[in-house]
Amino acid sequence: MIDRGSEIPVKRQARLLDLSRSGVYYVPRPLPDRDLRLMRRLDELHLKWPFYGARKLARELQKDGHDIGRRHVTTLMRRMGMETIYRKPRTSIPARDAAIRPYLLSGLVIDHPNQVWATDLTYLPMAHGFQYLMVILDLYSRKVLSWRVSNTMTPDFCVEALQEALERHGKPAIFNTQGSQFTSSDFIGLLTDHGIRINMGGQGCWRDNVFGDRLGEH
């Protein structure tokens, strides 16, 4: 925008363009070679351990012999646009207009296959970003009946997994669900069409989906 080789002085060009002269004359300082080396190493560490935060990354750099602290690592991570990948909260949010279902698992002894199925949505850390893993499990055998991976939290891939599980393994007496993907009309409609009782775990019912969570961690 500013032509430094023009016959019009830079001062006048800045005034005509309504630009601050301090911004026109400012020349960004290049990063020190040391920071460039650290950023390159940080990139390698992040690809290997994308779930490491600034503290652990600082420890890894210190093991390599670098004299660096957590705050400097945080600054470099922000400059690189690097974000620690971890399981985010609130994946189990029901749909806004979802009907409230009774809790059916209280005191229930699960002692045979196809008695209770459960589904859960969890995060899969990737080298760049993350994917969502949706899995359907038999709570008695802990067998994975079907699964899907997606880069969005839309219900369609969850419905596909449910259809596959029903076609391959029959149907359960009770299906345990949490989250808006599993309270959508398509997902709930598929369950009710097959005469399956629907259990919706609420706050404090984390044990209902613990096997799905553990699968996502591995």
User: What pLDDT does residue 79 have?
Assistant: 84
User: What pLDDT does residue 63 have?
Assistant: 93
Q: How many C-beta atoms surround the C-beta of residue 77 within 10 A?
A: 18
Q: At what angle do helices 185-193 and 156-169 cross, to 10 degrees?
A: 20
Smallest CA-to-CA distance from 119 within 217, 211, 218, 214 is with 211
Parse the chain into domains and list their residue ranges: 10-80, 116-217
Q: Rounded to two decimals, what is the model's pTM?
A: 0.51
Fold classified for 116-217: Nucleotidyltransferase; domain 5 (3.30.420)
Smallest CA-to-CA distance from 130 within 146, 157, 150 is with 150
User: What pLDDT does residue 205 have?
Assistant: 46
Split at pLDDT 50, 70, 90, the class of 200 is: confident
